[in-house]
Homo-oligomer: A and B are copies of this chain.
Amino acid sequence: MKRILVTGFEAFGEDRINASWEAVEALPDVIGETEIVKWCLPVEYDRVEGCLKGFMEELEPNAVVCVGQAAGRTAITPEKAAINWMASGTADNAGVKYEGVRICDDEVAADGYFASLPVEKIEAVLKKAGIPAQVSYTAGTYVCNRVMYGLLRYLRQQASPIKGGFIHVPCSSDQGAENPRLPSMSKEMIAKGLETALEVIAKA
């Protein structure tokens, strides 16, 4: 049986919820013939890659899909690329803040890596299912990009057959109800969108 490791993030700062973990937690445990293992990651630059690798070694998954919340986005956005850079105006949950520094400084670390998930196919299948979706070309420079870059670099350096990537989801409509100017998506649709994306990944 195939196995996909899917991660969400804990709530950030003063937020009570994080739409990514809310949606990941709601996923079924099996999709088709594929086992879905869900895990919650810390919003911490310096711990997030270590946590993810820990789960990966334990689970030996066929694919790893990290999910994060992107406030302001109107669609489910599979990320095409991660870059070797950390920069943010706000501190992470451990109080750490990077204002423009490489994630990895060794010679062979690339400036950017493409996801090995079928992001264009995911966009197409979601849209066909009536779910707003669009490939994104920037995962930002915060903890989301940090873990995506770490994951892709690890897989590339190992020449690993494991597929990896990142999907950003909009805020959920509960968050939209608190801030009605914020674009949002219902929890049901975010969860259905992720499930549909995982079906595409399982078949790839």
- Report yes or no: B140 in contact with A173, Cβ–Cβ below 8 A: no
- Report yes or no: B180 in contact with A127, Cβ–Cβ below 8 A: yes
- The 0/1 profile, CB within 8 Å of B marked 1, for residues 164-204 of chain A is 00000000011011101111111011000000000000000
Q: Which residue of B lies closest to A110 (CB)?
A: B110
How far is B135's CA from A138's CA once the two chains are assembled, in angstroms?
12
- Report yes or no: B138 in contact with A180, Cβ–Cβ below 8 A: no
Q: A81-B112, A83-B80, A112-B113 are in contact. Are A189 and B177 (CB under 8 A)?
A: no
The interface size of chain A toward B, counting residues with CB under 8 Å, comes to 43
**Contact of A113 (CB < 8 Å), options: B111, B128, B173:** B111
How many copies of this chain sit in the oligomeric assembly? 4
Q: Which residue of B lies closest to A135 (CB)?
A: B87
Q: Which residue of B lies closest to A102 (CB)?
A: B114
- Report yes or no: A130 in contact with B177, Cβ–Cβ below 8 A: yes
The reply to whether the CB of A5 lies closer than 8 angstroms to some CB of chain B is no
How far is B132's CA from A184's CA once the two chains are assembled, in angstroms?
8
Q: A112-B110, A137-B138, A138-B137 are in contact. Are A74 and B182 (CB under 8 A)?
A: yes
Minimum C-beta distance from A58 to chain B (A): 28
- Report yes or no: A83 in contact with B137, Cβ–Cβ below 8 A: yes
Inside 8 A of A75's CB, which chain B residues have their CB?
176, 180-181
27 residue pairs of the A-B complex, CB under 8 angstroms, read A74-B176, A74-B181, A74-B183, A75-B181, A80-B85, A81-B83, A81-B85, A81-B111, A84-B114, A87-B135, A100-B120, A110-B110, A111-B114, A112-B113, A112-B114, A126-B177, A127-B177, A128-B177, A132-B173, A132-B177, A132-B180, A132-B182, A134-B181, A137-B140, A183-B183, A186-B188, A188-B188
